[in-house]
Amino acid sequence: MQRRTVLVRFIQGIHALMAATLAFVVGGAVVAPSFTRRPRAWLPAAVLTDLEEGTPKQIAVEVKRADGATEAIDRRVVYVVRSGDSVRVLDSTCTHLGCRTRFDAESRRIECPCHGGMYDAAGRVIGGPPPSPLQTLPARIEDGRVFVEI
Ligand code: FES
């Protein structure tokens, strides 16, 4: 093997090592957060007696999470719908492309302002492009207070 060939292979090896290191660092920074499971928590969302039967009440729930050395607060908007002594909690995020929906008291529909998606008070799709119902979140009632797991 010629001296020149050995040198070329050595330089190619260094380039491959640099590329692998770069891919590891950048890939880890981009992909790793997707696989990190955020701890779930039960958060207070409403008082049962404050809820009107069958009418979605829009509530913003604050979720604290560690963000490096500090703490960040994420806001999740949910609908709490009472049905007798039980409740259903729906995520307000449209299942089409993720816009925030809102409940229209007149039409009694949950509407998405982005592309005209419509859901009934139970979160079922009744019009527009959403492919599936609003996501139902785990909920429980304790001493008349509604908690949602986020
Ligand atoms: Fe809601 Fe498109 S994002 S209908």
108 lines ligand 1 (CB under 6 A): no
CB distance 130 to ligand 1 below 6 Å: yes
Mean pLDDT for the stretch of residues 101-123: 96
pLDDT at 131 over 70: yes
Q: How far apart are CA 102 and CA 110, in angstroms?
A: 5
Residue 89 pLDDT greater than 70, yes or no: yes
- pLDDT higher than threshold 90 for residue 3: no
How open is the CA angle 110-112-115, to the nearest 5 degrees? 145
User: Is-above-0.85 flag for pTM?
Assistant: no
Compute the average pLDDT of residues 45-55.
Answer: 94
Confidence grade of residue 64 (pLDDT, cut at 50, 70, 90): confident
Q: Given 3-state DSSP classes, what are the helix, strand and coil percentages for the chain, each rounded to the nearest 5? A: 25, 40, 35
Q: Do 145 and 47 form a contact (C-beta atoms < 8 A)?
A: yes
Closest C-alpha to 137, from 93, 97, 73: 93
Predicted confidence at residue 120, as pLDDT, reads: 96
The alpha carbon of 127 and the centre of ligand 1 are apart by a number of angstroms equal to: 11
- State in Å: Cα 128 to ligand 1 middle: 8
**Residue in 91, 94, 126, 134 to alter for ligand 1 test, most ligand atoms within 8 A of Cβ:** 94
Average pLDDT over residues 12-35: 84
